[in-house]
Structure 1
Amino acid sequence: MRIAYLACRLTLPDSPERRPDAFEHDQMMECLSAAFAAHYATVEAIAWDDEDADWRRFDAVLIGSTWDYQDHLQRFLDRLAKIESQTMLFNDSATVRWNCRKTYLKDLSERGARTVPTVWLDRPAGANVEQAFDALGSDDLVFKRQVGANAEGQFRLKRGDPVPPMPEPMMAQPFLPAIQSEGEMSLVFIDGAFSHGLVKSAADGDYRIQSSYGGREKPCTPDAADIAAATSILETLAETPLYARIDMVRGTDGDMLLMELELVEPFLYPLQADGLGERIYDAAARRLSTI
């Protein structure tokens, strides 16, 4: 089996200006390469926008550290469609097209998922930004890009703060104190089965849990109720994704709320798991065996 691991140029080892979080790409490659090699299979990292790549020489392509896709969305989606016309793609392009815009949270809410309350601002401006505080009943909001990653272009604003330029469609959510006190829980699923869990915490004085901002993580064992809640979200999907990371945070009532369902290019935290590479190999092998 030969697999391509789809990356972006700034996560590849030979990049002259690697991203500060590119070590996460290295961790995933080490995890996958070791597991696949045990089965005489290979994993090769390739930039998604590499014009010289021949996707037909791979049995499948696994979307990995494509962490600039949000700034080139249509080009990225077009490239995925091309790849899918030549080989298997995990996760498939229809799933990515739906999941790359955070408006998918509307669909999940309608299907019964408990999500963080959200106001959608397709054209953010002073007036509707101020109205979001009233609509959400909070004086402390986080504004995120509807197509975004790694908290880029994200703002935490208190009522009355100056409104910064927000040229992209945005979403507003109340700031949840549990992010700083308890952290964000991530549950990783491979082929629909729970793999491992972890808690991500922000650096002192921050609320962003990504490693780019000093975030840190530790393994955890979610209780049965948390796993059931995450599993119920996956069960609303028409197709089971090969990989999924479900990010949840505790609401003010004590219940866990869905923050993100990550199906495009999530980091899967291999250092907090035992056997992640083997599980991904088995899942890919099962799917390829049905072709």
Structure 2
Amino acid sequence: MTICAYATFDGQDSDDELDPVLAAWRAAGVEGRAERWDDPAADWSAYDAVVVRSVWDYVPRRAEFLAWARHVESVSRLLNPAAVIAANTDKTYLRDLPSVPTHWSSEDLPHWPEYVVKPAISAGARDTTRTRDRGEAVALAAALEAAGRTPMVQPYLDMVETEGETSLLYFNRRLSHAVRRNPMLAGGDADASLAEARTPDADQVELAERVLATVPGPLLYARVDLVRLPGGEPAVIELELTEPYLFLRHDPGAPQAFAKALVELL
């Protein structure tokens, strides 16, 4: 039987997708075992593949995490690959995508009605601030630069409060399902349980697949997070290729689709 590691973190009890995924893998003929990514006792060479999942504590230890990914890839199959993870954990990748307008410096900040300021290396809404005060936005960006971090300054888009963010989930580059979710800074509850299934529009699917086509190599999973700009066109707010929540509960066939994709890639 094929044996795969499900790479998680010390707080794996908070990962409500672990059990459904391991059950779907088992049904597909893959024995899955949860392993903490930073467990020094883990023998990664014992696995046919290591699937990066809920490694949600990596951000303050990114260098250590990337070294781990390269090591695992030297002794086993890593999904997603180490090169993909290295590029995807620094949001400067958005410079090359049709994304929300982003200013990457504290200098010459555009005049927008409202700002979102965050570091390029982060997860969720960590170290992220929403403000109407341009001076505060400049100071926040400058503080990130002083700490050796790259700032991202974006306009806050009012329409996300009604439109929300649309997340498209892909397994082995095939669209599995999509959800509408509340944005982290819209003032609502961003809890995953409040997301809802959504049929993506044709222009959203076209953009998501065009973005994925820019990433070479195998992709076991991908989540493309989109918003609509004031003119109505979709734009990328994030491309999640490292440890995205997959919203499996929002589509009854999603765990099986995930397992099928893993078997195909192995």
Task: Give the TM-score, by structure 1 length.
Answer: 0.83
Instruction: State the match for 1:181 in structure 2.
Output: 162
Q: 1:83 to 1:63 in 2, by over 3 A?
A: same
Hey, what's the Cα distance between the residues in 1 that align with 2:236 and 2:25?
Answer: 32
Go from structure 1 to structure 2 and tell me whether the alpha carbon gap of 1:153 and 1:264 turns closer, same or farther (over 3 Å shift): same
Partner Cα separation in structure 2 for residue 78 and residue 219 of structure 1: 36
Letter in structure 2 aligned against 1:171: M
Q: Secondary structure at the match of 1:72?
A: helix
Q: Which amino acid aligns with 1:241?
A: L
**Paired-residue identity, %:** 31
Deviations along 1:148-197, one digit per CA (max 9) or x if unpaired, are 00110011121345445433321111001122121100000111110000
Q: List alignment gaps of at least 5 residues for structure 1.
A: 14-21, 109-113
Q: Distance in 1 between matches of 2:250 and 2:52?
A: 20
CA change 1:192–1:40 in 2 (3 A) is: closer
Do structure 1's residue 206 and structure 2's residue 187 form an aligned pair? yes
What does residue 258 of structure 1 align with?
236
- 195-204 or 171-180: which moved more? 195-204
Query: 1:215 & 1:173 partners in 2: Cα distance?
Result: 27
For structure 2, list consecutive stretches of 5 or more residues without a partner in the other structure.
none
Equivalent residue number for residue 158 of structure 1: 132
Which residue number in structure 2 is paired with residue 104 of structure 1?
Answer: 93
1:76 to 50, 59, 65: 65
8 Å CA contact 2:6, 2:53 repeated in 1: yes
* Aligned-residue RMSD, C-alpha: 2.0
The corresponding residue for 1:37 is 26
TM-aligned CA deviation for residue 41 of structure 1: 2.3
Q: CA-to-partner distance for each residue in 1:27-70, whole Å, 9 max, x for gaps?
A: x1122122112134222211111000001111111111111111
Is 1:63 matched up with 2:52?
yes
**Which residue of structure 2 aligns with residue 16 of structure 1?**
none
**Deviation string, structure 1 residues 82-132 (Cα, Å, up to 9, x no partner):** 111111000000001111100111122xxxxx21111113xx5xxx3xx32
Partner of 2:151: 170
Give the match for residue 54 of structure 1: 43
Q: Which residue of 2 aligns with 1:93?
A: 82
Structure 1 stretches of 4+ moved >6 Å = none
| Residue 115 (1) aligns with residue 127 (2) | no
How far has the Cα of 1:204 moved from its partner? 9.7
Q: Secondary structure at the match of 2:104?
A: strand
Which of 190, 212, 217 is residue 171 of structure 2 equivalent to?
190
Letter in 1 for 2:7: L
Are 2:52 and 2:79, in contact at CA under 8 Å, matched by a contact in 1? yes
Instruction: Describe the shift of the 1:147–1:203 C-alpha distance in structure 2 as closer, same or farther (beyond 3 A).
Output: closer
Shift, 1:216, TM fit: 2.5
Higher mean C-alpha displacement, 229-238 vs 145-154:
229-238
TM value normalised by structure 2: 0.90
Q: Structure 1 residue 283: deviation in Å?
A: 1.6
